[in-house]
Amino acid sequence: MLRFLVRRLGQGIGVLLGLTIVTFLFLHMLPGGPARALLGAKATPETVAALNRSLGLDRPLPVQYLQWLGRLLHGDLGESYQQGQSVGSLLAQRLPPTLLLVGTAVVLSLLIAIPLGVYQATHRNRLGDYLGTLGGLLGYSMPVFWFGLLLIMVFSLNLDWFPAGGIVSPRQSMGDVTARVQHLVLPVAMLSVAYVATWSRYVRASMLDVLGQDFVRMAEAKGAKRSRVLYAHALPNALISTVTLVGTSLPFVLSGSLVAEVVFNYQGMGLLFWNAAQVKDFPVLMGTVVLLGFATVAGSILADVVNAVLDPRIRRRSLA
């Protein structure tokens, strides 16, 4: 198990390193650059060149990257060009609201998707299965930003049940519980619909595959109760692939949170990244990419470890 974990950690570090290189190059290939964004379109070339020298942006890209990587290894993500604040402190403020939003949406989606997928698998080709399939098709084919705007129009503007905007201050999300819940309802609903639609279909397919295997038929032939066959034998094996799906879906989960935060003005990591992209605030963009990339790699490794614990065959194949 230790060799398996070390191998996965090594792969994760390689992925993170490649991610930082690609992102760094792409950001610095954008026209205009941060100096032009800071000084405005009317700035003279001399002024832009002077600011580039002061920020160290006139050096070769490999030198800039190595300097940035060296600071990163010491925990220094730089300082925001626009806000004049360290990137680390900005991320520390915005990370808890995003974790709250994403974590709530993922947990709620799994609590709905797993029973729904099991129900559809055990009622295959019946009315409930057809309705679940139709709902899933609508859920993952509908643009999430459009669904968010629809939620605002119905539940905020027309019914006045929930606030149309998100948390005004990042710290407010960690304050009053009632206000936190009210501001979370619509963004969580927006994210959960797409996740439930995708994950429930996957659980359904996994359950159908497991229910057709010999060990399930043997348990039924021995007279085991239907509920025991489903929840003690079939479901644990079906969830192995579901754990992998959730882990590998983390990039899409985080990108969905960006859309939700922009639509609802929710002061989290996604909105921070969006605002930084508008003004070419490179340190904030790089810091956000690194943090989200780390979260994605960590989620993938955690899913692999959980699968290896649940099914030793996966661990043996990976070390072969």
Q: How many CB atoms lie within 10 A of CB 132?
A: 21
pTM equals: 0.75
Residues 6+ apart with CB under 8 A from 308: 1, 4, 314, 315, 318
Question: What is the distance between the alpha carbons of residues 42 and 31, in angstroms, rounded to a whole number?
Answer: 15
- Cα 98 to Cα 47, 79, 123, 272: the distances in Å are 38, 21, 37, 11
pLDDT, average across residues 78-90:
80
Exposure class string for 240-265: b at 16+ Cβ within 10 A, else e:
bbbbbebbebbeebbebbbbbbbbbe
Please report the pLDDT score of residue 173 as a whole number: 45
Query: Across all residues in the chain, what is the average pLDDT?
Result: 77
Cβ contact 199:250 at 8 Å: no
Domains along the sequence of the chain with CATH: 95-279 (1.10.3720.10)
Token pair for 9: 């950690």
User: By the 8 A CB rule, do 306 and 245 touch?
Assistant: no
pLDDT tens digits for range 209-234: 877 777 777 776 777 677 777 777 67
Percent of the chain with pLDDT over 90: 0
User: Among 17-21, 74-78, 176-180, 204-208, which is the least confidently predicted range?
Assistant: 176-180
Residue range 165-169: mean pLDDT, rounded: 59
5 CA to centre of own chain: 23
Tell me what pLDDT residue 174 has: 45
Q: Give the pLDDT confidence of 242-297 residue by residue, as tens digits.
A: 777 777 677 667 777 788 888 888 888 888 888 888 877 788 888 888 887 787 77
CB atoms within 10 A of CB 236: 12
Element (H, E) at 74: none
User: Is the predicted pLDDT of residue 30 greater than 70, yes or no?
Assistant: no
